[in-house]
């Protein structure tokens, strides 16, 4: 890669509203030659884009009834770039996102990279709370790097470090592994990265490849989103047992403990104190993490909101993971969709 590669930016979008145009404007502001990039928008009902800046190539593709994984595969096949940049339509890309991202592909072993999605500065309070919970180690364990600035230098990553709203992948590798699995939605990026890594390629977490990406607000919208994501993780753990890690199941164990604990301790009194100790330990970590956020942000509202947010996030994930496994084993899950 002695010269700058041609890149294709892929954005699935249901509609071209104000949020989409913020994303598009951030691509116009990239410190990267416009003749070296194209923007591909996959949408359900194609319409004309109002703001097409001179010199930029924008393709609009009809994705029809394709799910998010299939929509991105359609774009990959039509992309001219050797590097595919995946963004969500509600992201705002840092001006140096593409410039910083492509440099890591000088190493031929690197197949995919990704960086953090920071909270927009003008985000409402409850959206900010979601971000603070997601960027906390207590909130999301090792996945917290996706939303935090704790990592200062690029490092090798696993599929838990990368997120599809901010990810760059070699097109030839995508074609080699037949792109995204249309049967794995959500968690399609995790499944993709898992297969890439199994092929012997490297994944990198790159903290200088940045987007600003709003999260769903507390309480119910975020809980629904976490539940949805966790169903995909449960399904993926069944489809790819070698991808399973114990910490994926810890929230489910926690939820089952809350539900079954009173019954178990009634019939097996020896379990009473271990269960109470585990619950007390969770409360201590929850309150400590909430207080740490308060000390950093200096907002007293967090002392009340954060503990509930942490609990709701863990409970939603635990229930979603169980539901994903149940749906897969009972055949309720089919072709990337969970039947309700």
Helix 188-198 and helix 220-239, axial crossing angle in degrees, nearest 10: 30
Question: Residue 3's CB: how many other CB atoms inside 10 A?
Answer: 6
Quick one: pLDDT at residue 195?
98
Query: CA 89 → CA 157, 211, 223, distances in Å?
Result: 25, 11, 21
> What burial class does residue 82 get, using C-beta atoms within 10 Å of its C-beta: 0-12 exposed, 13-18 middle, 19+ buried?
middle
**pLDDT tens digits, 51-65:** 799 999 999 999 988
* Torsion angle of C-alpha atoms 308, 312, 314, 317, degrees rounded to 10: -170
Residue ranges of domains in the chain, CATH in brackets: 7-116+143-213 (3.90.550.10), 221-338 (no CATH)
- Report d(CA 189, CA 71) in Å as an integer: 13
Beta pairing partners, 7: 37, 83
Quick one: pLDDT at residue 15?
85
Q: What is the DSSP string of 222-251?
A: HHHHHHHHHHHHHHHHHH-GGG--HHHHHH
> What burial class does residue 55 get, using C-beta atoms within 10 Å of its C-beta: 0-12 exposed, 13-18 middle, 19+ buried?
exposed
Give the confidence band of 160 by pLDDT, cuts at 50, 70, 90: very high
Instruction: Report the chain's mean pLDDT, rounded to a whole number.
Output: 94
Beta pairing partners, 41: 11, 60
Burial 164-187 (b: 16+ CB within 10 A, else e): bbbbbbbbebbeeeebbbbbbbbb
* Torsion angle of C-alpha atoms 172, 177, 182, 188, degrees rounded to 10: -80
Quick one: pLDDT at residue 340?
35
- Report d(CA 130, CA 223) in Å as an integer: 10
- Report d(CA 128, CA 301) in Å as an integer: 12
Burial 238-273 (b: 16+ CB within 10 A, else e): bbbeebeeeebbebbebbebeeebeebbeeeeeeee
> What burial class does residue 278 get, using C-beta atoms within 10 Å of its C-beta: 0-12 exposed, 13-18 middle, 19+ buried?
middle
User: In sequence order, what are the residues at sequence separation of 6 or more whose Cβ sits closer than 8 angstroms to the Cβ of residue 18?
Assistant: none
**pLDDT tens digits, 78-135:** 999 999 999 999 999 999 999 999 999 999 999 999 999 999 999 999 999 999 999 9
**pLDDT tens digits, 268-317:** 889 999 999 999 999 999 999 999 999 999 999 999 999 999 999 999 99
**pLDDT tens digits, 224-279:** 999 999 999 999 999 999 999 999 999 999 999 999 999 988 888 899 999 999 99
What's the pTM value of the predicted model, to 2 decimals? 0.94
Structure tokens given for 310: 């942490």
């Amino acid at each position: 890669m002695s010269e700058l590669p041609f890149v294709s930016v892929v954005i699935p979008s249901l509609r071209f509203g104000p949020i989409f145009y913020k994303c598009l404007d951030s691509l116009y502001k990239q410190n990267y030659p416009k003749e070296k990039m194209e923007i591909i928008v996959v949408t359900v009902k194609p319409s004309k884009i109002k703001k097409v800046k001179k010199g930029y190539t924008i393709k609009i593709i009809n994705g029809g009834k394709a799910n998010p994984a299939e929509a991105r595969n359609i774009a990959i096949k039509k992309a001219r770039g050797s590097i595919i940049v995946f963004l969500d339509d509600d992201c705002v890309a840092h001006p140096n996102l593409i410039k910083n991202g492509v440099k890591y592909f000088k190493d031929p072993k690197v197949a995919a990279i990704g960086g953090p999605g920071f909270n927009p500065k003008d985000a409402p309070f409850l959206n900010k709370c979601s971000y603070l919970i997601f960027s906390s180690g207590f909130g999301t364990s090792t996945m917290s790097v996706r939303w935090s600035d704790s990592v200062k230098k690029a490092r090798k990553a696993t599929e838990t470090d990368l997120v599809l709203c901010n990810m760059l992948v070699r097109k030839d590798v995508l074609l080699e592994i037949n792109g995204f699995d249309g049967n794995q939605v959500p968690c399609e990026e995790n499944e993709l990265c898992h297969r890439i890594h199994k092929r012997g390629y490297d994944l990198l977490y790159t903290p200088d490849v940045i987007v600003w990406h709003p999260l769903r607000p507390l309480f119910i919208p975020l809980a629904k989103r976490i539940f949805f994501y966790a169903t995909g993780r449960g399904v993926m753990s069944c489809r790819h047992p070698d991808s399973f890690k114990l910490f994926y199941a810890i929230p489910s164990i926690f939820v089952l403990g809350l539900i079954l604990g009173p019954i178990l301790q009634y019939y097996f009194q020896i379990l009473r104190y271990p269960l109470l100790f585990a619950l007390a330990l969770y409360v201590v970590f929850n309150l400590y993490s909430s207080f740490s956020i308060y000390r950093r942000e200096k907002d007293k509202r967090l002392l009340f909101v954060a503990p509930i947010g942490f609990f709701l996030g863990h409970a939603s994930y635990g229930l979603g993971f169980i539901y994903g496994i149940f749906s897969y084993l009972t055949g309720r899950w089919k072709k990337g969709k969970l039947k309700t």
